[in-house]
Homo-oligomer: A and B are copies of this chain.
Amino acid sequence: MTLQNDLILRTARGEKTERTPVWLMRQAGRILPEYRAVRDKVKDFIELATTPELAAEVTLQPVDILGVDAAIIFSDILVIPEAMGLPYEMIEKRGPYFPETVKSLADVNKLRIADAQADLGYVLEAIKIVKRALNGRMPLIGFAGAPWTIFAYMVEGSGSKTFSKAKRMLYTEPVLSHQLLQKITDSTIQYLKGQITAGADLVQLFDSWAGILSPEQYRSFALPYISQICDAIPEVPKTVFAKDAWFARQELAQLNCETIGLDWTMDPIESRKIIGNGKTLQGNLDPCVLYASYEGIRRETGKMLQAFGPHRHIANLGHGLYPDIEPDKVRCFIDAVKEFRFIP
């Protein structure tokens, strides 16, 4: 089916477009009263994410309410450990918690390579429902966590400021670490291929904890697995967002992907110089700018757009939306992108 609005796909592929496309990480979520109404109907976040009709419903909410240029499937990066045999709970206000963690080779051997249809069918089903409802209006973005970030949760067992247990394993058990990373990578490839078959038009890898590794560790334990995934997915454009991995931008530029996501600490002009002209860049407004006045939001958004320039840029925040941002402020950001006129 031809998409009515394919701005993001054309921008990802490097075509010149009539304006900069825009979407937001966490656009479907707690900032919307409509989301909270659905969320209140179920026991917890995990029930919401695993019920295809509800996941589809909240995926579609921001399309009309906010006016973005793409939908992103409502899900969670930690469905992969779950699908590999390591379940988790989402504890309100504290985040994910794994009752069991990976500590030994026996633990790694017990894990299976996730089968998209058998283990993650609920996500694929949600994607199909969303695609039918979108009816070609705009693209649907699929996603997964990057292997290092998934590894970090599976070994640490929860969020952490330092992820020192996960990093400890990289230093003390490098062979075991690579075995686990490979199993996560194989599962992620299956999963993303399933998402694409179900209808995802573009996929994004989130390496949320990229920035706590040393550059050398990132080169050994993170980049090779992201690279495998990019190489295995020729079907659709791929975005790699390695938060805080400012030090790896040169290597990220070598990946077989179309778009590199930037966080708000990475200067657009400097990043373009480092990454070169072969990639589309995505980002990177500080999420806290959306606490500013409408005038402030328009000013900061304009500065960002001008710095990236009119082509090969997908406007977004430099991280996910914070839950206490007002929807009107998000709309202001989106409208500011759509209305911006570049100074030649």
Residues of A within 8 Å of B, CB-based: how many? 31
The reply to whether B265 and A172 form a contact with Cβ atoms under 8 Å apart is no
Instruction: Give every chain B residue within 8 A of A288 (Cβ-Cβ).
Output: 162, 164, 167-168, 170-171
Q: Known contacts A215-B267, A286-B167: does B293 contact A172 (CB below 8 Å)?
A: yes
Q: Known contacts A267-B215, A286-B214: does B246 contact A291 (CB below 8 Å)?
A: no
Instruction: Give every chain B residue within 8 A of A267 (Cβ-Cβ).
Output: 215, 247
Instruction: Give every chain B residue within 8 A of A292 (Cβ-Cβ).
Output: 171-172
A35 at interface, CB cutoff 8 A: no
Instruction: Give every chain B residue within 8 A of A159 (Cβ-Cβ).
Output: 161
Q: Specify which of B161, B170, B213, B265 is in contact with A211 (CB 8 Å cutoff).
A: B265
The reply to whether B214 and A171 form a contact with Cβ atoms under 8 Å apart is no
CB distance from A50 to the nearest CB of B (A): 25
Closest to A246 in B: B246
Q: Known contacts A164-B322, A167-B286, A244-B244: does B265 contact A215 (CB below 8 Å)?
A: yes
Closest to A323 in B: B164
A sample of 12 more A-B contacts (CB under 8 A), given A214-B264, A214-B286, A246-B247, is A159-B161, A162-B287, A162-B288, A167-B288, A168-B288, A168-B291, A172-B291, A172-B293, A213-B265, A217-B286, A247-B266, A247-B267
Give CA–CA (A15, B292) in the complex, Å: 48
A233 at interface, CB cutoff 8 A: no
CB distance from A93 to the nearest CB of B (A): 12
CB distance from A105 to the nearest CB of B (A): 18
Residues 149-191 of A at the B interface (beta carbon under 8 Å):
159, 161-162, 164, 167-168, 170-172
The reply to whether A287 and B164 form a contact with Cβ atoms under 8 Å apart is yes
Give CA–CA (A167, B170) in the complex, Å: 34
Residue from A161, A211, A217, A288 whose CB has the most chain B CB atoms within 10 Å: A288
Closest to A210 in B: B265
A31 at interface, CB cutoff 8 A: no
A296 at interface, CB cutoff 8 A: yes
A289 at interface, CB cutoff 8 A: yes
CB distance from A307 to the nearest CB of B (A): 11
CB distance from A252 to the nearest CB of B (A): 15
Instruction: Give every chain B residue within 8 A of A168 (Cβ-Cβ).
Output: 288, 291
Give CA–CA (A87, B266) in the complex, Å: 36
The reply to whether A171 and B289 form a contact with Cβ atoms under 8 Å apart is yes
Give CA–CA (A320, B143) in the complex, Å: 35
Give CA–CA (A264, B266) in the complex, Å: 18
Closest to A170 in B: B288
Residues 66-83 of A at the B interface (beta carbon under 8 Å):
none
CB distance from A95 to the nearest CB of B (A): 9
